[in-house]
Amino acid sequence: MELFARIVVGYHGCPENYARDLLLGTQPVLQWQPSTNEWDWLGHGIYFWEYSPDRARRWAEQKFAGSGETPAVIGALIQLGRCFDLLNEGMTATLAKNYPQVVASYEQAGRSLPQNRGRDWKRRELDCVVIKDCLARLQAQGVQYHTVRGAFLEGAPAYAGAGFSREAHVQLAVRDPACILGVFRPQ
């Protein structure tokens, strides 16, 4: 990990009992299991909203509504380490360069390429495949990324004619739990 990489604050929506276990240390941060959904926007990792506890809370409330679990938010200090930052044009150029290789591998296997779908394209199956493939190819070349970061425009425009969305956010996928320097209970 790059020792002096940028540190950000992230917020993670989860059940209350899991937040409590993280805070008490009965659930070690280093054993935090990543999300491995086929639609994960930034590939597999532990997902955080950067500097957005309210968005994390709303997500948790929607996710756990009617489940019997109490929604909660855990804050974390995250050292980005080597970050595959999709707000960096060099990283998006790397993804674009990798995409034809993904297409070719699916064609050779006789499989259809996954598609992004759903409301506001929240099910990012294509993006997940492309990011995972790209990071695997980079890792095979000896380049390991600890985190992935991207901005997402979601929701309705903030006002008529706006270029801003009501649910726009920056999200992080932490691939290496050692990047999580500590957790806290947001106020």
pLDDT in tens, 121-133: 678 899 999 999 9
Tell me, what's the pLDDT at 156? 86
Q: Write the CB contacts of 80 (distance below 8 Å, at least 6 apart in sequence).
A: 5, 6, 7, 8, 146, 147, 149, 172, 179
Q: CA 15 to CA 57: how far, in whole Å? A: 10
Closest listed residue to residue 10, CA positions, set 60, 40, 51, 61:
51
Whether the predicted pLDDT of 5 surpasses 90 = no
In whole angstroms, what is the distance from residue 166 CA to residue 48 CA? 18
Residue 121 pLDDT = 67
What is the C-alpha to C-alpha distance for residues 16 and 64, in angstroms, rounded to an integer?
Answer: 10
Q: Could you tell me if 16 and 70 are in contact, meaning their C-beta atoms sit under 8 angstroms apart? A: yes
Q: Measure CA 96 to chain center.
A: 19
- Average pLDDT of the segment spanning 97-111: 96
Of all residues in the chain, what percent carry a pLDDT higher than 70? 96
2-6, 57-61, 105-109: range with lowest mean pLDDT: 2-6
Whether pTM > 0.75 for this model: the answer is yes
Tokens of 161: 């004619």
Q: Is the pLDDT of residue 3 over 60?
A: no
Residues 177, 29: contact at Cβ < 8 Å? yes
Q: Collapsing DSSP states into helix, strand and coil, what is residue 94?
A: helix
